[in-house]
A = this chain, B = another copy of it.
């Protein structure tokens, strides 16, 4: 079932925000068995919105709109939808009640603009917004559907999960989407493609392989759509099972070809994998960070439940803090510099001791744009991983820009820890 996502807002077209709603929606819709064929972003202009809806209806069954339904004058989606569906706004007491509830919860009183949020197009199905004031609008056009949702990520995510996806599933027949992801490291994209060229040539029709480079890692994605409908005839059931078995066979074959490079499967993030391994072995961890400035700790603590194995970090940005808090030898700092094997090993060992953890990750590097030299250019990073008396230190050349250097260093640090375990 084909879906198009239309995100609305001038702020997207002038690059003032990075639009993340469509990625979240696409992931959830794919998981549920829908096929997202196009994502468009358009500005707050009635004619542009109408043109985008017309185009999307001409080729797809489901249109999901986000944005442009706030209480302010620049939000024109609701009026534009009235014009498109040839209807007008009416006052909904139900929506007003919902808004009052939400405001009571937040101790805010209603003003005129928010009251206008209770105006909804006549004839559409109104779905209450549990986490905000803008109602969700569901329009039916023969067999096709258009839903208008808020652009605030949390509000959109709540209604998609609780209301929209369940309702769409009731109305449409879905194909099952089969997917397997492998995260690999230690190889270039083209060398990997050459290793897999025979496999790719022999792939059965309808199964595809894609490569996705990710800050020093490569994600391989094998995917297909199971076109059979298992709920109906016996013949379809058998076909469904055949297609599923064929996909699993290919997935296993691919896995064997890259097993030496494999880092993670099933879309699991490095930091999630690290958390699982630590818990399984009942180990605790801490970090000592210089150039990553706390990003490794932030990644580790982004995983719910991290407090079971993570106790804390020392971000030792200055040499003085490296020396005084992490007890790094001053003469080593002077002789070898902060970005060196000698220093990073002491950072890791002493961090584990200070924060009383079994393991520790230490990172010291030159993030740039300044601070590089001929011997140690911007992008040079030393990483030491430590676990119960043993340590491994490695040097990396991570990249070119400050943001990239920090991100890649954090990934490489968690990866090195994972490999060590």
Contact = CB atoms under 8 A, between A and B. Distances in A.
Interface stretch (A187-195, A255-263, A275-283): A187-195
A298 B304 contact: no
A216 interface: no
A189 B406 contact: no
B304 A293 contact: no
A44 B210 contact: yes
A160 B114 CA distance: 42
Given A321-B312, A400-B131, A298 B301 contact: no
Nearest to A219: B16
Contacts of A404: 153-154
B190 A111 contact: yes
A46 interface: no
A354 B316 CA distance: 12
B37 A43 contact: yes
Contacts of A181: 16
B23 A17 contact: yes
Interface stretch (A65-73, A226-234, A246-254): A65-73
Given A210-B10, A312-B317, A23 B27 contact: no
A28 interface: yes
A83 interface: no
A62 to B, nearest CB: 14
Contacts of A355: 321, 325
B297 A401 contact: no
Interface in A379-417: 399-404, 406
Contacts of A38: 13, 40-42, 48
B18 A20 contact: yes
Contacts of A113: 190, 193-194, 197
A306 interface: yes
Contacts of A193: 71-73, 113
Contacts of A313: 294, 313-315, 317
A56 to B, nearest CB: 11
A211 B131 contact: no
Interface in A141-195: 152-154, 157, 179, 181, 188-191, 193-194
A368 interface: yes
A36 B19 CA distance: 15
21 contacts: A10-B208, A14-B223, A15-B29, A19-B22, A19-B23, A38-B40, A39-B40, A70-B189, A71-B190, A113-B193, A113-B194, A289-B294, A293-B294, A293-B302, A293-B306, A302-B402, A302-B406, A306-B317, A307-B318, A311-B317, A312-B325
Listed from nearest, the 8 A-B pairs whose CB atoms lie closest are A15-B27, A293-B301, A294-B294, A15-B26, A294-B297, A313-B315, A312-B321, A39-B41
Interface of A: 9-20, 22-30, 36-44, 48, 55, 70-74, 108, 111-114, 131, 133, 152-154, 157, 179, 181, 188-191, 193-194, 197, 200, 208-214, 219, 221, 223, 267, 287, 289, 292-298, 300-302, 304-307, 310-318, 320-321, 325, 354-356, 367-370, 399-404, 406
Given A15-B28, A16-B267, 7 more contacts: A9-B210, A12-B39, A70-B213, A154-B404, A307-B318, A312-B321, A313-B313
